[in-house]
Amino acid sequence: MSAYLLRGVSVVGAEPTDLLIRDGVVAGLGRDTGAAGAEVIDADGLLALPGLVDLHTHLREPGREDAETVETGSRAAALGGYTAVCAMANTDPVADTAGVVEQVWRLGRAAGLVDVQPVGAVTVGLAGERLAELGAMATSAANVRIFSDDGHCVSDPRLMRRALEYVKAFDGVIAQHAEEPRHTVGAQLHEGDVAARLGLPGWPAVAEEAIIARDALLAGHVGARLHICHVSTAGSVEILRWAKRRGVRVTAEVTPHHLLLTDERAEGYDPVFKVNPPLRTRADVTALRAALAEGVLDAVATDHAPHAVEDKECEWAYARPGMLGLQTALSIVYSTGALDWDGIAERMSRTPARIAGLAGHGQDPAPGVPANLTLVDPAGTWVVEPGNLASLSRNTPYAGMELPGRVVATFLRGEPTVLDGKAVR
């Protein structure tokens, strides 16, 4: 295996030093580490962060390989500074059996660019009617720990309770897409002034908040772990704060786009801004940023949702919801100013790794730790060119924007997946 000496690097904002990577681990930290034979990388002015971990990625394989594959999504992730991603279950076929989650897990290993950790479906076919083979997915080679019907809400409260009881036995977690479906029939964007002005059916905040409140109560009652996907409203933050104070084992994520964009973006009817849950108001964005800094929101997750051109470049009402996120997440979060670099390491690496149970990820670079890390130029900027992104899809809401913070290199178990800002393979 190869060796690399990162010369003059600052580990999560500490004083600059040298960091030696050898045999897949951080072999030394400090000047004068024995670096014989190591390839030297000038890391003057660069930060080393623990490799980012995404709790919420749609890789689209199997089923929609025209929109993304495990390999192309993995490459986008590595370029975004990620070393591990959790692949959502709403593929075709749905990842609701040991066979499908093992297939996704093997494709991830074959691509070898990030660790792809499959998420298993909660219900068969995401239909919300009966539980999938949660135990068989947990004991499969994919070692599934997070289960989610994401894209759909597990709206039946009895089924949700049974799912929580089931995964409690092996300390699994149910990740809920909180959307009471009877409140969002035909919904196109956030229910509020903009939707009223545009004459489009609204997606009310209460549809999210009601499910979070219900499931926090259920998780507390059962004593099981609950995770809330893509929290988007100020009211949800208040419910989560209340639940955490009561000792409910609940964690929550927020997306970069909900930390930056508002429903006013819908004014031009450009479907690139159509997403589920929808972009909310300025007051929601402010509350989400504060909650992320405070820790009521535990993690940033991308909800990277690639879509083929025909599903996105059409009339607003017919467009599929979702936007790309992996390659822009770090820069977007940094641009909001909500977190310092230690906060970014905490919310984009350490905590999500802990929630997902991913050993070897989310650890600050230190001697003996697996070398899963990303090198960032905090002073660097870059312009988002959709055609230059590694994803097979082009639905980024940030096209043409100049963003701060540039990923220079990413290492997965000591081997570079990205060098000089470019994918190594």
DSSP state at residue 314: S
Cβ of residue 153: shortest distance to Zn ion, in angstroms? Answer: 8
Burial of 66 (0-12, 13-18, 19+ CB in 10 A): middle
The minimum distance between CB 91 and Zn ion, in angstroms, equals 14
Which residue stretch of 8-16, 21-29, 90-98, 176-184 sits at the interface with Zn ion (rule: CB under 5 A)? Answer: 176-184
Q: One of 298, 303, 311, 377 is an active-site residue; which one?
A: 303
Collapsed DSSP state (helix, strand, coil) of residue 207? helix
Within residues 228-247, the interface with Zn ion by CB under 5 A covers 229
Residue 229 Cβ, how far from Zn ion at the closest point, in Å?
5
Binders in 299-338 for Zn ion, by CB under 5 A: none
Q: Which stretch binds Zn ion (CB under 5 A): 8-16, 172-180, 246-254, 349-357?
A: 172-180
Q: In the range 111-170, which residues lie near Zn ion by CB under 5 A? A: 150
> Smaller CB distance to Zn ion: residue 145 or 177?
177
N-term to C-term CA, the chain: 17
Nearer to Zn ion, 121 or 229 (CB): 229
Q: 3-state SS of 353-401?
A: HHHHCCCCCCCCCCCCCECCEEEEEEEEEEECCHHHCCCCCCCCCCCCC
414: which residues sit within 8 A by CB, 6+ positions away?
1, 2, 4, 21, 22, 23, 24, 25, 370, 371
Alpha-carbon separation of residue 83 from 6, 23, 55, 335 (angstroms): 18, 17, 12, 21
User: 273 or 411, CB closer to Zn ion?
Assistant: 273
Question: What residues contact residue 176 under an 8 Å CB cut-off, 6+ apart?
Answer: 148, 153, 154, 160, 211, 212, 215, 226, 227, 228, 229
Measured CA distances, 188 to 178, 201, 228, 237, 321 (Å): 16, 6, 21, 23, 9
Does residue 303 carry a catalytic annotation? yes
State the nearest-atom distance from the C-beta of 89 to Zn ion, in Å: 11
Check binding of 274 to Zn ion (CB under 5 A): no
Considering beta carbons, is residue 91 or 372 the nearer one to Zn ion? 91
- Give the residue at shortest CB distance from Zn ion: 177
Residues 6 or more apart from 407 whose CB is under 8 A from it?
A: 79, 80, 81, 330, 374, 375, 376, 418, 421
> Minimum Å distance from CB 340 to Zn ion?
28
Q: Could you tell me how many residues make up the chain?
A: 425
For Zn ion, the binding residue among 7, 177, 225, 289 (CB under 5 A) is 177
Choices 69-77, 171-179, 184-192, 208-216; region in contact with Zn ion by CB under 5 A: 171-179
Question: What's the rounded Cα separation, in Å, for the pair 373 and 410?
Answer: 6
Minimum gap (Å) between residue 179 Cβ and Zn ion: 8
Q: Which is nearer to Zn ion, 35 or 160 (CB)?
A: 160
Which of the residues 190 through 229 are near Zn ion (CB under 5 A)?
229
| Min CB(175)–Zn ion separation in Å | 9
Considering the complex, state which of residue 12 and residue 144 has its C-beta at the smaller distance from Zn ion: 144
**Closest to Zn ion by CB, 229 or 348:** 229
By CB under 5 A, the residues from 13 to 72 that bind Zn ion are none
Q: Which residues contact Zn ion (rule: CB under 5 A)?
A: 150, 177, 229
- Would you name the residues annotated as active-site residues? 303
